């Protein structure tokens, strides 16, 4: 499996797919990116006249790249059935706002992957390389969803 085929295996599609690209994956970390298009529906009502990406969407973006994509990569060849990683816990710090049309990069480092559970330290940076949020995410393998 190559990193280009991972996104096709995610159980998400527009308008709830927050992965534009995966640029690297190995046994210890994954790196991917997403650009928050200004036409996304949640911008219409989140801080009137000064839209900001909601923290829950930033968390979801980190989880899709840093947990779900990473889990699919790590599970390659291990599972015969359709599987994915379901988010089970988050501890996220929001450091800077993310505005419409900003591109972010998500970098996840594996803390552990065992017994069907994946725990990662995840960091999100904006295009200037500034940390916008970071945290610890955990999930577990779900079969046949």
Catalytic residues: 46
What domain count does the chain have? 1
pLDDT at residue 77, as a whole number: 62
pLDDT at residue 85, as a whole number: 83
Identify whether 2 is part of a domain.
Answer: no
Identify whether 20 is part of a domain.
Answer: yes
Identify whether 21 is part of a domain.
Answer: yes
Distance CA 73, CA 27 (A): 8
Average pLDDT of the residues of the chain:
92
Q: What percent of the chain has pLDDT over 90?
A: 76
Q: What is the CATH number of the domain that holds 16?
A: 3.10.129.10
Question: 30-39, 43-52, 101-110, 114-123: which has the minimum mean pLDDT?
Answer: 43-52
Identify whether 77 is part of a domain.
Answer: yes
pLDDT at residue 79, as a whole number: 57
> Region 55-76: what's the mean pLDDT?
95
> Region 100-109: what's the mean pLDDT?
98
pLDDT at residue 107, as a whole number: 98
Question: Which among 124, 15, 106 has a CA at the least distance from the CA of 68?
Answer: 106
3-class SS string, the chain: CCCCCCHHHCCCCCCCCCCCEEEEECCCEEEEEEECCCCCHHHHCCCCCCCCCCHHHHHHHHHHHHHHHHHHHHHCCCCCCCEEEEEEEEEEEECCCCCCCCEEEEEEEEEEEECCEEEEEEEEEECCCCEEEEEEEEEEEEECC
Place of tokens 């690209």: 21
Residue 111's domain comprises: 7-143
The answer to whether residue 3 scores a pLDDT higher than 80 is no
The answer to whether residue 48 scores a pLDDT higher than 90 is no
The answer to whether residue 144 scores a pLDDT higher than 80 is no
């Amino acid at each position: 499996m190559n990193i280009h085929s991972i996104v096709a295996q995610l159980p998400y599609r527009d308008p709830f797919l927050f992965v534009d690209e995966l640029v690297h994956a190995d046994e210890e970390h994954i790196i991917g990116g997403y650009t928050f298009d200004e036409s996304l529906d949640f911008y219409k009502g989140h801080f009137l006249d000064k839209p900001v990406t909601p923290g829950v969407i930033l968390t979801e973006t980190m989880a899709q790249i840093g947990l779900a994509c990473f889990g699919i990569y790590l599970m390659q060849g291990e599972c015969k059935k359709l599987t994915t990683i379901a988010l089970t816990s988050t501890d996220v710090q929001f450091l800077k706002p993310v505005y419409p049309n900003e591109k972010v990069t998500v970098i996840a480092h594996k803390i552990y992957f065992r017994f069907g559970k994946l725990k990662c330290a995840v960091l999100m940076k904006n295009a200037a390389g500034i940390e916008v949020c970071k945290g610890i995410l955990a999930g577990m393998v779900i079969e046949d969803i």
